[in-house]
């Protein structure tokens, strides 16, 4: 376990020593004594948060709307800058799932999450309580990662796959950092644009154009965190100009590129997910 220090933030962060047996799945462990109003920055993955600490993380997603404990959120959680995380004595395993495998792992399509945060027990029932207990009893972070990976691999193997054309289209959008054109993807898959849009949306939880926007933003946001000037980021990541980058960042986060570059939510990725990349089905 290592310590992530960013301004006043001090988090303990753990990483698995071995990759997951499931392609498109990655995880990290966090122990945070005082989590103070962390802005959630949109990410292209489906987020699965397995809470097992004495305290509990709480997501404030709208005035008067809160969700605590273990939860699931679809791609793009935090769009508009409206979601904050807080809590004391938080201990959790955070899992990032490629939308292309999320339906099999979760048992429902990400589309059924409808952009909201869903309690894990609403999807898994008693299994959510059992994994929480087992994570709390595990003697080390590596044991917790092994437990989590075994559970999710079992669910993935038993769950329904997405259409091969949908998985392929997602992969193409990922490897091009969101620059693949939807018309070209549909033509290469042998589908109409309408059919690709419909299947992609129903199985992955967001339409192809939205997926491309999130993936391009995620790539650009991490370049900003690395200290690359905004003008260079815009030119290198496919934005028309710096103003275009600024508009997308403001739309997705409610903050300027300068403010986003200083977000702990993004800065911790180099430690929590070394060799970070948008989850993909390989």
- Residue 263 phi/psi, 5-degree rounding, is -75, 125
pLDDT per residue as tens digits for the range 53-93: 888 788 887 655 677 789 999 999 888 888 889 888 999 99
pLDDT at 276: 60
Question: Is residue 47 a contact partner of residue 218, using CB atoms and an 8 Å limit?
Answer: no
pLDDT < 70 regions, the chain: 62-65, 114-115, 276-282
How would you write 20-66 as a 3-class SS string? CCCCCEEEEEEEEEEEEEEECCCCCCEEEEEECCCCCCEEEEECCEE
Global pTM reads 0.92
pLDDT per residue as tens digits for the range 236-249: 999 999 999 999 99
Two structure tokens written together for 273: 């997910």
Tell the CATH topology of 2-158.
Jelly Rolls (2.60.120)
Tell me the DSSP string of 101-144: HHHHHHSS-GGGGTTSEEEHHHHHTHHHHHHHHHHHH-SSHHHH
Tell the CATH topology of 164-272.
Arc Repressor Mutant, subunit A (1.10.10)
Instruction: Give residue limits of the domains in the chain.
Output: 2-158, 164-272
pLDDT at 58: 85
């Amino acid at each position: 376990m290592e310590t992530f220090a960013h301004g006043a933030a001090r988090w303990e962060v753990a990483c698995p020593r071995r990759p997951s047996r499931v392609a498109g799945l990655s995880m990290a462990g966090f122990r945070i004594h005082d989590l103070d109003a962390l802005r959630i920055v949109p990410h292209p993955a489906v987020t699965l948060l397995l809470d097992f600490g004495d305290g509990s993380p709480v997501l404030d997603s709208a005035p008067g709307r809160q969700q605590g404990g273990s939860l699931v959120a679809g791609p793009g959680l935090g769009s508009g800058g409206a979601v904050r995380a807080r809590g004391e004595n938080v201990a959790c395993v955070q899992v990032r799932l490629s939308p292309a495998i999320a339906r099999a792992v979760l048992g429902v399509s990400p589309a059924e999450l409808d952009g909201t945060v869903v309690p894990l027990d609403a999807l898994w029932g008693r299994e959510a309580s059992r994994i929480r207990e087992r994570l709390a009893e595990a003697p080390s972070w590596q044991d917790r990662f092994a437990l989590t990976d075994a559970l999710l691999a079992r669910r993935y193997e038993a769950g329904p796959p997405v259409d091969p054309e949908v998985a392929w289209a997602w992969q193409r959008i990922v490897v091009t950092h969101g620059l693949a054109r939807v018309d070209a993807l549909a033509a290469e898959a042998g589908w109409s644009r309408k059919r690709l849009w419909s299947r992609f949306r129903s199985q992955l939880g967001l339409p192809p154009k939205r997926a491309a926007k999130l993936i391009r933003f995620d790539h650009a946001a991490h370049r900003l965190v690395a200290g690359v000037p905004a003008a260079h980021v815009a030119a290198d990541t496919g934005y028309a100009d710096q103003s275009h980058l600024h508009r997308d960042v403001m739309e997705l986060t409610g903050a300027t590129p300068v403010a986003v570059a200083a977000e702990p939510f993004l800065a911790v990725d180099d430690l929590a997910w070394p060799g970070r990349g948008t989850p993909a089905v390989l």
